[in-house]
Amino acid sequence: MAERIRQKFASTTFRPAGDERIQKTVSIGLTHYSPPENEKDLIARADQNMYQAKKSGKNQVIFS
């Protein structure tokens, strides 16, 4: 699902003003819940994956 969102976003042309056209990309970090971790740790791992996606060239999904 995240990969489909990333692809759709990257293929969308944005028109902020007049004839101006820009392309944007998105980097997505995902993870899964590992009991008994708390909410803060879960979000921190997803955030870490998002930054890894950006660091690895952007416009990708990282899951761990």
Residue type, 62: I
Q: How many domains does the chain have?
A: 1
In this structure, the strands spanning 22-23 and 13-14 are: antiparallel
Q: What is the pLDDT of residue 58?
A: 95
Q: Which domain holds residue 58?
A: 2-63
Which pLDDT tens digit goes with each residue over 16-57?
998 999 999 999 999 999 999 999 999 999 999 999 999 999
Q: What is the pLDDT of residue 18?
A: 86
Q: What is the pLDDT of residue 48?
A: 97
Q: What is the CATH number of the domain that holds 52?
A: 3.30.70.270
Rg of the chain (C-alpha set): 15
The residues, ordered by sequence, that sit 6+ positions from 23 with a Cβ below 8 Å of its Cβ are 10, 12, 13, 14
